[in-house]
Structure 1
């Protein structure tokens, strides 16, 4: 399992609109993609324009190739991209340890 972590900063005052957009965007595009295993979206408390999107993928290629090179990625960016204050910072992680 691979964890995609996207640190997203949006334009000030757009939180309510972005909440709807990211929820809809994940459901319409990411959740239907090959290798998608689940996701979480966290909203900033001290920084209300900051969101952390965590997507679990079966393989790195499911995100970097299967999703990013598909029409679904273009649709995703069309839904959430207008809210971005700058490009999201995206990194991938593999699990080292966990608690149940």
Structure 2
């Protein structure tokens, strides 16, 4: 997951401010969905490996785990989006200050 964070941050820094914000929000959402869909099939295969358990308890457990995973992915996605927004705001502020200094020098 740290590699994904680095990739998203590098992408955000290399793009223009407004386009970069929109693009990184989309990437963050897609990453969250990819993590969720990657986690869910893994849980399903693990559960089918033990057929001796009751099917109702397995499906109940599966739904509980899926809900917990979804909630955690959504929480992390929101946290990452906020961090990206904060970084973008900081970069825009710094860029504006630099542009103002350049205009004063001309």
So what's the TM-score if we normalise by structure 1?
0.31
**Rg (Cα) greater in structure:** 2
Question: Which structure has the higher relative contact order (CA within 8 Å, separation 6+)?
Answer: 1
More strand by share: 1
More helix by share: 2
